[in-house]
Amino acid sequence: MGLDITGPTVVTAQVRKGPFPNFPFKRSNHPPMKKTHKTLTKMLRFGAPFTTVTSSASAISRTSPATNCQSSLTDSHLADFPRTSSFCFQQLLSYQSRLICCRNKATAEAAETMAASVASPPASKQALISLSDKKDLDLLATGLQELGYTIVSTGGTASALEKAGISVTKVEELTKFPEMLDGRVKTLHPNVHGGILARRDQNHHMEALEKHSISTFELVVVNLYPFYEKVTSTNEVLFDDGVENIDIGGPTMIRAAAKNHKDVLVVVDSQDYPLLLEFLKGNKDDQQFRRKLAWKAFQHVAAYDSAVSEWLWKQTEGDKFPPSFTVPLSLKSSLRYGENPHQKAAFYTDSSLSEFNGGGIATAIQHHGKEMSYNNYLDADAAWNCVCEFENPTCVVVKHTNPCGVASRDDLIEAYRLAVKADPVSAFGGIVAFNKEVDEALARDIREFRSPTDGETRMFYEIVVAPSYTEKGLEILRGKSKTLRILEAKKNSRGKLSLRQVGGGWLAQDSDDLTPEEIKFDLVSKKSPEEKELNDAKFAWLCVKHVKSNAIVIAKNNCMLGMGSGQPNRVDSLRIALRKAGDEVKGAALASDAFFPFAWKDAVEEACESGIGVIAEPGGSIRDADAIDCCNKYNVSLLFTGVRHFRH
């Protein structure tokens, strides 16, 4: 297309230095076409700025930074230019100095609009895509192409795009270098990282790109080698195989784009593809959106690196307590509030390798009921951890993280009723946990069971948790209450690291996994316990480890009769447990989470006087001899376990 210029126009070429002479355009004879094209093309090639000035008094001038020499160009000269191609004028108008040709002030605005329309279109925006997980790749790539993006990709991602019929530029076309070292080196190249890291607001950055013919990237979409999946697979993973699945180029690109997020969008999660495309369609400059994607990118790499670090530590030292480590947490849900309504709260799952398939409440499936609260998680965790300690069919009832009822029976319905009977007042509004499947009969009993205190009030619970439910059992439980939370959980694996926060730091320890079969119940008194009494002592000992210190549990016939918890002194905990056990205390077993500092006229003697048949405690007090003598006086069996179960 051509421009119709009718009035005499002066073209000012500003050149202080360089290859441009002060040439005259205005001559008596028209200059040859070839020479004119050659001269103007030379000016454009070397970046000579231009200013156009109309000859009228109302002329508008657009001037580049320097001014030196002038030459006039008449319309007769312009006529020599081929109007079909407008070779020089198209180049002049597309140049950054914007050659503006106008006859007078009235036509200036129209001329600028025309110049913009004639100018060459801007270079296509580039997106770099390199994915191990190619979920929704076609959706992303199609959307980007519709928005005018050129897609640059690597290896398998490029092949997948080509198979989908999507135009793609392979990264080696940019780097002029093939993939090497079995794919270890693909994108680690200035032509890639220069285009990602260059700041668009820094002239020397952009000049460097131009000097080295490097194009910018506006978008980087990357996810990483499946290292976590590889090292947690059921098949044994060789060390070299694990190392080969450590991504290097991917994290480098992600970090580069995230650092330069002001100019480069970075996406690491396929769930963000729709939001990304919507953002690009809006053609907005939302820095908050960019920052969120950058945060997510750095967090993604951090979690990835923590898995690599955890795995490598286990391959080298094997110690549970490395000099430093990272715990990768993922938000599972925002909670209504914390322990109290004025506290904000959220629930996170632990993505550490050690927690893979580790079971527990964090990965439980909720089949029914209101959303879980902060306190619900704490109580459900306490109930589930306790009930999973038992091999025989067992029910545990928990209130405020303390088991207030525990019973083991072949008939799980009987176990449930005995667990509630231990402390029906506390059980109301508590959490009920089972270590075996909940079937139709048990579900119906849970739904209809009345409180032992009056025989009329239907028992109410916040949560029921079990390893599984029959279809009918689940249906019946759902009918008990719209709010009843029904959880299905896997048993906690043993050997986990237990973490607890204190102000400014964390405490780490082995979980308290010891079972009665792993310790010795040493007889230190004259009277030996009968087999039934020994079993009751082991049952009570297993219960007391889940009660807050100072803790006392009284049990008989594999059933908790009473417990005292959280008291500053052991005597008060004993008295609470005795009061709850009532007349059934005769011949029962008593377990203490720690040794008795005193015996005479203290907890040991009170227990003996109440009719307790056997006492299990860790021992280790400087007054152990007093405890032994006291038990011998009252003909009570005394067992030392050598294992303390403090629980704070």
Q: Of 259, 292, 370, 532, which residue is the catalytic one? A: 259
CA atoms within 13 Å, Cβ hemisphere of 437: 9
Task: Note the residue count of the chain.
Answer: 648
Dump pLDDT digits (tens) for 450-473: 989 888 889 999 999 999 999 999
Dump pLDDT digits (tens) for 557-570: 999 999 999 899 99
Instruction: Print the SS3 string covering 171-240.
Output: HHHHHCCCCECCCCECCCCHHHHHHHHCCCCCHHHHHHHHHCCCCCCCEEEECCCCHHHHHCCCCCCCHH
* pLDDT for res 52: 37
User: H helices within 412-470, ranges in order?
Assistant: 412-422, 424-427, 440-448
| DSSP code for 450 | B
Q: What is the mean pLDDT of residues 180-187?
A: 66
Kindly report which listed range (23-32, 183-192, 436-445) carries the lowest average pLDDT score: 23-32
Q: What is the distance between the alpha carbons of residues 323 and 333, in angstroms, rounded to a whole number?
A: 31
* pLDDT for res 560: 96
Tell me the pLDDT band of 441, cut-offs 50, 70 and 90. very high
Q: Which of 111-115, 134-138, 168-172, 316-320 has the highest mean pLDDT?
A: 134-138
Q: What is the distance between the alpha carbons of residues 560 and 545, in angstroms, rounded to a whole number?
A: 13
Dump pLDDT digits (tens) for 251-303: 888 988 998 998 899 999 999 999 999 998 887 778 889 999 999 999 999 98
* pLDDT for res 242: 78
Q: What is the distance between the alpha carbons of residues 268 and 271, in angstroms, rounded to a whole number?
A: 9
Q: What is the distance between the alpha carbons of residues 634 and 194, in angstroms, rounded to a whole number?
A: 85
Nearest to 353 by CA among 504, 231, 466, 214: 231
Do residues 560 and 419 lie in contact, with contact meaning Cβ atoms separated by under 8 Å? yes
Q: What is the distance between the alpha carbons of residues 270 and 340, in angstroms, rounded to a whole number?
A: 36
State how far Cα 290 lies from the chain centre.
18
> Where are the extended beta strands (E) located within 260-393?
265-267, 329-335, 345-350, 365-368
* pLDDT for res 216: 85
* pLDDT for res 54: 36
Number of H helices and E strands in the chain, helices first, is 23, 24
Task: Kindly tell me if the per-residue pLDDT of 105 is higher than 90.
Answer: no
Q: What is the distance between the alpha carbons of residues 447 and 475, in angstroms, rounded to a whole number?
A: 11
Residue 401: both structure tokens together: 């993280």
Dump pLDDT digits (tens) for 51-74: 333 333 333 333 333 333 333 344
More confident residue, 625 or 116: 625
Dump pLDDT digits (tens) for 330-339: 999 999 999 9
Q: What is the distance between the alpha carbons of residues 48 and 395, in angstroms, rounded to a whole number?
A: 88
More confident residue, 290 or 11: 290
* pLDDT for res 442: 96
Residue 53: helix, strand or coil by DSSP? strand
Q: What is the mean pLDDT of residues 545-565?
A: 94
Task: Supply the mean pLDDT for the chain.
Answer: 80
Tell me the pLDDT band of 183, cut-offs 50, 70 and 90. low
- Specify the residue for token string 């039934």: 532
Q: What is the distance between the alpha carbons of residues 248 and 185, in angstroms, rounded to a whole number?
A: 9
The neighbouring-strand residues paired with 150 are: 126
400 is catalytic: yes
* pLDDT for res 332: 93
- Other beta carbons within 10 angstroms of residue 52's beta carbon come to 22
- Specify the residue for token string 């140049």: 95
DSSP string, 3-51: ----S-EEEEE--SSSS--------SSPPPHHHHHHHHHHHHHTT--EE
Judging by DSSP bridges, how do beta strands 365-368 and 345-350 pair with one another? unpaired
Nearest to 95 by CA among 45, 129, 55: 45
Residue 156: helix, strand or coil by DSSP? helix
- Other beta carbons within 10 angstroms of residue 274's beta carbon come to 13
Percent of the chain with pLDDT over 90: 43
* pLDDT for res 182: 64
Q: Find the distance separating the first CA and the last CA of the chain, reported in whole Å.
A: 85
Name the strand (E) or helix (H) holding 463: strand 461-466
* pLDDT for res 111: 45
More confident residue, 570 or 178: 570
Nearest to 477 by CA among 455, 459, 454: 459
Task: Kindly tell me if the per-residue pLDDT of 648 is higher than 90.
Answer: no
Task: Kindly tell me if the per-residue pLDDT of 436 is higher than 90.
Answer: yes
* pLDDT for res 318: 63
Dump pLDDT digits (tens) for 204-234: 888 877 888 888 888 999 988 887 887 787 7
More confident residue, 126 or 432: 432
* pLDDT for res 169: 83
Q: What is the distance between the alpha carbons of residues 646 and 184, in angstroms, rounded to a whole number?
A: 52
Q: Which of 122-136, 165-179, 187-201, 408-422 has the highest mean pLDDT?
A: 408-422
* pLDDT for res 391: 93
Q: Of 262, 292, 332, 400, which residue is the catalytic one? A: 400
Mutual angle of helices 137-146 and 155-163, in 10-degree steps: 70
User: H helices within 283-362, ranges in order?
Assistant: 287-316
* pLDDT for res 186: 66
More confident residue, 16 or 376: 376
* pLDDT for res 177: 65
The set of long-range contacts for 334-337, using a CB threshold of 8 Å and a minimum separation of 24, is 335/371, 335/372, 335/373, 335/374, 336/371, 336/373, 337/373, 337/374
Task: Kindly tell me if the per-residue pLDDT of 322 is higher than 70.
Answer: yes
Cα torsion 273, 278, 281, 284: sign: negative
Kindly report which listed range (352-366, 518-532, 606-620) carries the lowest average pLDDT score: 352-366
Residue 63: both structure tokens together: 């001037």
Task: Kindly tell me if the per-residue pLDDT of 118 is higher than 70.
Answer: no
* pLDDT for res 59: 36
| Maximum CA extent, the chain | 137
Dump pLDDT digits (tens) for 578-628: 999 999 999 999 999 898 898 899 899 999 999 999 999 999 999 999 999
Do residues 196 and 256 lie in contact, with contact meaning Cβ atoms separated by under 8 Å? yes
State how far Cα 573 lies from the chain centre.
42
Nearest to 157 by CA among 227, 249, 244: 249
- Other beta carbons within 10 angstroms of residue 199's beta carbon come to 13
* pLDDT for res 647: 86
Q: What is the mean pLDDT of residues 129-139?
A: 89
Task: Kindly tell me if the per-residue pLDDT of 434 is higher than 90.
Answer: yes
Do residues 420 and 445 lie in contact, with contact meaning Cβ atoms separated by under 8 Å? no
Residue 560: both structure tokens together: 């908790």
More confident residue, 625 or 164: 625
Percent of the chain with pLDDT over 70: 79
- Answer whether 0.85 is exceeded by the pTM: no
More confident residue, 389 or 11: 389
Kindly report which listed range (11-15, 114-118, 150-154, 351-355) carries the lowest average pLDDT score: 11-15
Q: What is the mean pLDDT of residues 32-61?
A: 39
Residue 159: both structure tokens together: 């092949």
